[in-house]
Amino acid sequence: MKFPNLPIENISDYNIQKCFVIIRDFLRGNSPLAGFKLLTVSLNQNFSGTTKANSFVFAHNLGFLPQDIVISSQTGVGQVSFNQNLTDGTNLYLAVTGTSTTAGPLVVRFFVGTYQGAL
């Protein structure tokens, strides 16, 4: 996850600037989603009546097998779930139901990666 760049160099007080640098570096390294990639998939085909577990294949291009998927938003008509037992180092497999070509796309945003923190 990428944090916004704050214009820390514009702070004239050296000590305050250094404190912000320390806070920024801490947040970048200790975020629960550090190392995760934010992806978006837009599904605008009709999956109604689809029962296959892998009704949609999405190339994640991570180069490793992600262990965790966190959906951050889902808009439009339909439902999606991830079949992690089928997921590999190249593709995510999504089970999609209830979509409609007339209602517009189902857009899903999600973070994908492997959580490295303490449980």
| pLDDT (0 to 100) of residue 107 | 92
Q: Are residues 12 and 64 in the same domain?
A: no
Residue-wise pLDDT for 24-68, tens only, equals 777 776 667 777 889 999 887 766 555 555 478 889 888 889 999
Q: Are residues 20 and 58 in the same domain?
A: no
| pLDDT (0 to 100) of residue 54 | 47
Residues 111, 73 contacting (CB under 8 angstroms): no
The one-letter amino acid at 83:
N
Q: Are residues 51 and 101 in the same domain?
A: yes
Provide the residue count of the chain. 119
Q: Are residues 48 and 94 in the same domain?
A: yes
- Nearest 5°: the CA angle 108, 32, 110 is 5
Higher pLDDT, 67 or 7: 67
pLDDT of 2 > 80? The answer is: no
Q: Are residues 51 and 89 in the same domain?
A: yes
Indicate the pTM of the whole model.
Answer: 0.67
Domain membership of residue 70 as a residue range = 37-111
Q: Are residues 26 and 43 in the same domain?
A: no
Average pLDDT over residues 1-7: 64
Q: Domain count for the chain, please give it.
A: 2
Q: What percent of the chain has pLDDT over 90?
A: 22
Confidence of residue 74 (pLDDT cuts 50, 70, 90): very high
Helix (H) or strand (E) holding 64: none
Average pLDDT of every residue of the chain: 81
CA 81 to chain CA centroid, Å, is 13
Q: Are residues 47 and 91 in the same domain?
A: yes
